[in-house]
Structure 1
Amino acid sequence: MRLTTFSDYCLRILIFVGVHDDRLCTIDEICTAYGISRGHVMKAVYRLGQLGYLDTLRGKNGGIRLAKEPSDIGVGDLIRHTEEDMALVECFQAPGSGRCCIVGSCILRVALAKALDEFLCALDRYTLADLLGPRDRLAALLSLDRKVPGRKSSVTN
């Protein structure tokens, strides 16, 4: 199984905002902390807002914050919402779109479908609150005033 970069970024954004739950966070802070381009972060924040995971406040004093309690944000649900295509193989796509001649008798398809279900069920056992468990270590790693290799200086606002 492999998640898209988009889902990875969505998870990281939620972790950043969850660690900094005492204030509004900015897109620039997230970009700086993770070394992710502004365009990618903006796209993910926009989608997370649409899905109800983030509240986004525009304007001079704006920012983003969690729209739900971390314990109410299921990792499995987030992945289901952010992954565009969970088709592991061609035959998982819309009926009739594949070229495989054994699709009607294929045990591999059954095995892969079961593996996908088990993957998502495993993720369903975790919430954002679980991911925020090592909060102090995460806060230190996501600190904007520490020097990170490959990153210029820190953000001062």
Structure 2
Amino acid sequence: MRLTSFTDYTLRTLLHLGGHRDRLVTIQEIADLHGISRNHLMKVVFELGRSGVIETVRGRYGGFRLAHAPKDINLGDVIRNSETDFYMAECFDPVGVPCGLTGACRLKGVLQDATAAYLATLDRHTLADLLPEPPPRETPIKVHRKKTVR
């Protein structure tokens, strides 16, 4: 199974947004970072906004950001929303080419199980699982001063 470029760009966009939660991000920024077509990214951002995963801000100083915490963005949901189908073979496609083995073939069942296992694995993970751990916060050093007696 191979993810489409659209899904790849979707995941790259979410990873970038997850790493820059403190500000708005632009399409041009991600396009330049990954060498991706700005037009393709516009479609990705449109769909992410439509599905409620990101929120967009229009205008001169606009951009977009995650609409939810990374721990609340499920990878299985993201992949299902961005992939057009999960047909592992022509026999999965309801309008595909008829197969002469229909009824006697067990391959379709095995491939259905494999797809279900794949999606179940993705369902167990969130965007937060893909982001690097934040650096530990430094604890302030307490300075003890001697009391002066007057």
Coarse TM-score class (shorter-chain normalised): 0.7 to 0.9
Matched residue SS, 2:103:
helix
Map 1:4-19 to 2 at 5 A: 4-19=4-19
2:116 pairs with 1:117:
yes
Task: Call closer, same or farther: CA 1:134–1:37 in 2, change over 3 Å.
Answer: farther
Map 1:4-153 to 2 at 5 A: 4-94=4-94, 97-134=96-133
TM-score, length of structure 2 as denominator length: 0.85
Matched residue SS, 1:103:
coil
Matched residue SS, 2:2:
coil
CA RMSD of aligned residues (A): 1.3
Task: Call closer, same or farther: CA 1:135–1:47 in 2, change over 3 Å.
Answer: farther
TM-score, length of structure 1 as denominator length: 0.82
Matched residue SS, 2:78:
helix
Task: Call closer, same or farther: CA 1:135–1:93 in 2, change over 3 Å.
Answer: farther
Matched residue SS, 2:59:
coil
Aligned residues of 1:19 and 1:135 also touching (Cα < 8 A)? no
The structure with the greater share of residues assigned to helix is 1
2:39 pairs with 1:2:
no
Structure 1: state its 5+ residue gaps: 137-157
1:98: how far off?
2.8
CA distance in 2, matches of 1:18, 1:42: 18
Fraction of identical pairs, as percent: 49
CA distance in 1, matches of 2:58, 2:102: 50
CA distance in 2, matches of 1:51, 1:5: 18
Aligned length: 135
Larger Rg: 2
The superposition leaves residues 118-144 of structure 1 with CA deviations (integer Å, 9 ceiling, x where unpaired) of 0111111110001113567xxxxxxxx
Structure 2: state its 5+ residue gaps: 136-150
1:97: how far off?
3.7
CA distance in 1, matches of 2:100, 2:132: 48
Runs of 4+ in 1 over 3 A off after TM superposition: none
Matched residue SS, 2:76:
helix
